[in-house]
Structure 1
Amino acid sequence: MSTAAMALAATGALPALAAEASQDTAGTLDDGTKVTSVTLTGADGVSVTILSFGATLWKFMAPDRDGELADITLGYDDLQLFKDKPNFWGATVGRYANRIDHGRFTLDGTAYQLPQNDGENSLHGGGKGFDVQNWKVEKVSSGKVARAIFTRTSPDGEAGYPGTVQARVTYTLDDHGSLQIAFDATTDKPTVINMTNHAIFNMAGEGAPQGAMGNVLTVPASHYTPVSETLIPTGELAAVEGTPFDFRAGKAMEEGLRDGTDQQIVYGRGVDHNFALDKGLTKTPELAARLSDPESGRVLEVLTTEPGLQVYSGNFLDGTFLGKHGHLYRMGDGIALEPQKFPDAPNHSNFVSARVDPGTPYRHVMVYRVSVER
């Protein structure tokens, strides 16, 4: 709250706002695209900054047990890199998050071919997805919660997907450390939609010398979806018990991460797998993951309405990504926790369907909730 607003609130002239939103110009890309930033700030000191480019969660400031703020998400300082060297840092990904085998699926007897940007697969929209589009800033507001709404029209045939889709992403921050992200979409013909946020976290703070592998991860999932060597699900739901993928009781991310006796770890170069959450598909967001840094005390809880959670241990970070504050990101410097439908669901009838029809809107609500463990 501004000094003037606090003074007025103190006199009773207006109610104190719990959370504030502000809008600014973030910069201009080489092609002339003007990028807007929106910052949401809660009364507890937690703040997030979102870019219109990719509807991207750019910064996520959270205090440790001593009150020291750190940005807990990896990313770029240079806006142009989001376009020239995209790596989905905090971006809204779609139309289909995660991988689709050979970039192909069939819907109502019609075959569709998507761009292949991950070997033979299509990943997160095939390199032409929502993450590399500049979204419209529809509304920014302060109040009991701070809110920012981003919208865009995805035309029929964009990145190979059928249907004209009207997409909306709503970020809402309260004063208790909860950032809700709601993804909404409608279509004018049958299509598939699977949207999520692709933030990569380190609860010790991005660029921390020790990396993120000491972060403790808990995932309430008794099963996961094993993959082929191309990281496409086989269709099986395998038990996590007795494998490196058992995070039900919580353990440091690094435990089992180099277990070359497990073929799934070899395929993923670590963990890059979808977990079938015990809760399944739910109407309201329920717990999907808990990530904490014992040293700083920072805790992140991820909640979602979706049935799956992709856990990615930063296996392809190779020191060539020049990130925030001049940090070179390496393998294990961050952890992605991506709530979603299962990867390649359009090609697996036993997975929860990602189909969306006219008159039946798509909606996914997820929450990033930060706190401090004393």
Structure 2
Amino acid sequence: MRITKEPFGQLQGTNVNAYTLMNNQGFQVTALDYGCIITKIIAPDKDGNLENVVLGFDSLGEYQEHSPYFGAVIGRVAGRINKGEFELNGKSYTLPQNDGKNHLHGGNVGFDKVIWNTQIIEREDEVGLKFNYRSPDGEEGYPGTVDMKVTYLLNNENELTISYDGVSDQDTLLNVTNHTYFNLSGDLKTTITDHVLTMKSHQYLALGDDLIPTGEMVDVENTVFDFQNGREIVDGIESRHRQNRLASNGYDHPFLLDENYNKEIQLKDRTSGRSLIIETNEPCVVLYTGNMIGSNYKIRGVNASNYLGLCLETQGLPDAINHPHFPTVILKQGETYSRSTKYTFLA
């Protein structure tokens, strides 16, 4: 197992580096110290061919100009916050409205747009990266100074584990995720419409017209939101269900997980034979099927288009601070935020 490091660009005079983790089977994960962005995951198909299975770019400028959060760590709070407003300990806070009238993915300069301090981890049975960032009190409107640590670890079983740890000197909000877009066909040969997704989830959150959760938890049975026995993504894209249509013809929905660390999320591409198992201690996963990836740019030579990749964002429930019956995303002063998600790639 080994790690390599190479320059990737500069941001305001500071070097940005790309680190590649490689195991003994040739499986690779490349990540930047800018936004902890995963730029590539090189995984074998059923015939042993190694190809990239995530969306990303080869230059920093492309990430800054075009990226819809490809591969990035999202925070302080993933997802939307209604009108960019919340109340904590009797005090009202106003956040940047960077998605219409709402706050999205931590604001204008969230965790995805800063350079993280990076330490290399080299052990006999795994290699990894430990990213550290101090988010000062008031950054993007959030209270408290947060010391955040994100760790990527790769082993010889083609398992990538992402761990998130944070502490704050004041009560604040924290709900962090990774926004990688997966496409198991390899090197973007096809869209993800024929990918089969299986999830241990019997409820999802209904969304309003602005994609903010209404607060209603809806049973999935007898709908295109039922992935309990496996379903092709195309079902939701072609669906006339109002929830699919308001999400720009697809999914952009939080699903409540019935189990944790028991193969609760599985994605498969039958042509390549690749599959991905995701296990987490988070209460939900947001399925986003790339409905608004857009166009007018290329992704490593492939024209950008909707449904070219999908996200499985393990996290707390979006806009939880404004829904008292949702699991809390409040991090108390001095307490430790600790979350993890494991991605296992099979063929």
Q: TM-score, normalised by structure 2?
A: 0.97
Q: Trace 1:277-288 onto structure 2 (pairs within 5 A).
A: 277-279=257-259, 285-288=261-264
1:149-193 CA-partner distances (Å, limit 9, x unpaired) = 010100000011110000011000000010000011100000010
Taking only the aligned residue pairs, the percentage that are identical comes to 37
Residue 86 (structure 2) pairs with residue 111 (structure 1): no
Alpha-carbon distance in 1 for matches of 2:200, 2:52: 26
What is residue 359 of structure 1 aligned with on the other side? Answer: 334
Question: SS where residue 346 of structure 1 aligns?
Answer: helix
Equivalences for 1:223-262 in 2 at 5 Å? 223-260=203-240, 262=241
**Counterpart in the other structure of 2:112:** 131
How big is each residue's C-alpha offset from its partner over 1:19-73, in whole Å with a ceiling of 9 and x where there is no partner?
Answer: 22222222224x3231111111111221101100001111100000111011100
Partner SS, residue 263 of structure 2 = strand
Partner residue, 2:176: 195
* 2:246 match: 267
Q: Whose radius of gyration is greater, 1 or 2?
A: 1
Quote the offset at 1:371 in angstroms: 0.6
Letter in 2 for 1:118: D
- 1:248-288 residue CA offsets vs partner (Å, 9 max, x unmatched): 1112111132212x110111111000001112xx5xx4434
Query: Offset at 1:201?
Result: 0.5
1:308-323 map, 5 Å:
308-323=284-299
1:304 aligns with 2:280: yes
Hey, what's the Cα distance between the residues in 1 that align with 2:139 and 2:53?
Answer: 33
Measured after TM superposition, the shift of residue 195 of structure 1 is 0.6
- Please say if residues 301 and 368 of structure 1, whose CA atoms lie closer than 8 Å, have aligned partners that are also in contact: yes
Change in Cα spacing, 1:139 to 1:311, as seen in structure 2 (3 Å) is same
Separation (CA, whole Å) in 2 of partners of 1:117 and 1:287: 35
2:236–2:251 Cα contact (<8 Å) kept: no
Measure, in 1, the Cα distance between the counterparts of 2:308 and 2:236. 16
Q: What runs of 5+ residues in structure 2 fail to find an aligned partner?
A: none
Quick check: 1:78 aligned with 2:59? yes
Does structure 1 retain, via aligned residues, the 8 Å contact 2:170–2:334? no
> SS of 1:287's equivalent?
coil
- Does structure 2 conserve the Cα–Cα contact (< 8 Å) formed by 1:24 and 1:36? yes
Worse-superposed segment, 82-91 or 52-61: 82-91
2:272 matches 1:292: no
For the residue of structure 1 that corresponds to 2:207, the secondary structure is: coil
Give the alignment partner of residue 55 of structure 1, picking from 22, 36, 49: 36
> What's the CA shift for 1:212?
1.1
The gaps in structure 1 that reach 5 residues or longer are 1-18
The DSSP-based 3-state class of the residue aligned with 1:83 is helix
Q: Deviations over 1:116-162 (max 9, x none)?
A: 11111111111210000011113332421011101010000001111
1:329 is matched with which residue?
304
Match of 2:156 in 1: 175
Post-superposition CA distance 1:318-344 (Å, at most 9, x none): 2234212x2122111111000000010
> Aligned partners of 2:65, 2:137: CA distance in 1, in Å?
25
Q: Does 1:342 align with 2:317?
A: yes
Query: 1:112 & 1:86 partners in 2: Cα distance?
Result: 28
Task: Show the counterpart of 2:2.
Answer: 20
Matching residue's letter, 2:205 = T
Q: Distance in 1 between matches of 2:215 and 2:262?
A: 24
Count of residues in Structure 1 that have an aligned counterpart in Structure 2: 346
SS at match of 1:176: coil
Residue aligning to 1:8: none
Q: TM-score, normalised by structure 1?
A: 0.90
Give the match's secondary structure for 1:150: strand
Tell me, in whole angstroms, the C-alpha distance in 2 between the residues paired with 1:33 and 1:244.
Answer: 47
Distance 1:228 1:80 in 2: 34
Q: Is the 8 A contact 1:286 1:305 kept in 2?
A: no
Cα deviation 1:293-321 (Å, max 9, x = unaligned): 10010111111110010000100022234
Provide the aligned C-alpha RMSD in A.
Answer: 1.3
Q: For residue 263 of structure 1, what is the amino acid of its counterpart?
A: R
Task: Give the partner amino acid of 2:247.
Answer: G
Structure 1 residue ranges, 4+ long, deviating more than 4 angstroms after superposition: none
Q: Is the 8 A contact 2:68 2:293 kept in 1?
A: no
Supply the AA of the counterpart residue of 2:342: V
Aligned residues of 1:21 and 1:142 also touching (Cα < 8 A) = no
Query: Match of 1:4?
Result: none
CA contact (8 A) 1:310 1:339 kept: yes
